[in-house]
Amino acid sequence: MAEPVLQINELVKNFGALRATDGVTLDLRPGEIHALIGPNGAGKSTLIHQICGTLRQDSGTIRLAGVDIGALSTADRARRGLGRTFQVSSLVSEFSALRNVMLAVQAKQATSFGFFRPVMRDVSLIEPAMAILERLGLAHRARLPAAELSHGERRQLEIAITLALQPKAFLLDEPMAGMGLEGSKALTLFLDGLRQEAPILLVEHDMDAVFTLADRVSVLVYGRIIATGTAGEIRRDPAVRTAYLGD
């Protein structure tokens, strides 16, 4: 079997007396979408924060492409190829959608060269940034300030920015949240193709999207993975049905 791109082992995070993640072990393999599902408060977002470094794990290890990144800053993890959708607040809201993506393309270029390099002229960033916006169906909104985009479009713009950084793995925490039916369908189609570029750890409540997209599904309940399997296996798993799918 191919070496996992991302391997997390026995991750634990306590908030006071509450153990939000309780020894979580999972991996992300090349080309796959691995969905993480579970009830509200199960610890899914905590896990994503631990992986990208916005929360430090109390114990456990995180390896990206074979390298232990568990002690690195969030920025260093991103530079090493961990692609997390940015919070909406990290968009520069007065800049156009296009300029937001251009900044990410530029940031990627700056870190790809190990020596000083004059900042690329803006015009050379336009084409790659537009190509990314086109992939997300946002090209027609390119010139609008990020602040004027709809909620769903801003979520797509966050993904565009993450894409521009060409990560080794994507971590997406509820990318469909607040998108209408059409938006969710379009994003599902997009994510389906995205896995070929880099595998995706997908936290998502939209079960249609999960069962359509996921190569594997892990179920987190009270900070513990209670099952991992294909969509079909998970749907039939009695423990999962009792704990989460509601029967």
Q: Which does 81 bind (CB under 5 to 8 A by kind): ligand ADP, Mg ion, none?
A: none
- What would the two tokens of residue 83 be? 């692609």
Residues 1-40, mask of contacts with Mg ion (x by CB under 5 A): ----------------------------------------
Instruction: Compute the least distance from the CB of residue 161 to ligand ADP, in Å.
Output: 22
Cβ closer to ligand ADP: 19 or 79?
A: 19
Across the chain, which distance is largest between two alpha carbons, in Å? 60
Q: Which does 37 bind (CB under 5 to 8 A by kind): Mg ion, ligand ADP, none?
A: none
Handedness of CA 158, 159, 160, 166 (dihedral sign): positive
Cβ closer to Mg ion: 44 or 141?
A: 44
Dist CA 69 CA 197 (whole Å): 21
54 is a site residue for Mg ion (CB under 5 A): no
45 is a site residue for Mg ion (CB under 5 A): yes
Q: Where are the beta strands (DSSP E) in the chain?
A: 6-15, 18-28, 33-37, 59-64, 67-68, 82-84, 169-173, 200-203, 216-221, 224-229
Q: Which does 20 bind (CB under 5 to 8 A by kind): Mg ion, ligand ADP, none?
A: ligand ADP
Dist CA 3 CA 31 (whole Å): 11
228 is a site residue for Mg ion (CB under 5 A): no
**Upper half-sphere CA count for residue 132 (Cβ side, 13 Å):** 24
The DSSP H or E segment spanning 182 is helix 181-194
Cβ closer to Mg ion: 125 or 209?
A: 209
Instruction: Compute the least distance from the CB of residue 44 to Mg ion, in Å.
Output: 5
Q: Which does 228 bind (CB under 5 to 8 A by kind): Mg ion, ligand ADP, none?
A: none
Angle between helices 122-135 and 97-112 (to 10 degrees): 110
CB atoms within 10 A of CB 177: 14
Cβ closer to ligand ADP: 42 or 202?
A: 42
Residue in the shown chain whose Cβ atom is closest to Mg ion: 45
CB 39 within 8 A of CB 53: no
Footprint of ligand ADP (CB under 6 A): 15, 18, 20, 38, 40-46
Query: 111 — phi, psi (to 5°)?
Result: -90, -10
Cβ closer to Mg ion: 33 or 203?
A: 203
Instruction: Compute the least distance from the CB of residue 4 to ligand ADP, in Å.
Output: 22
Binding residues for Mg ion, per CB under 5 A? 44-45
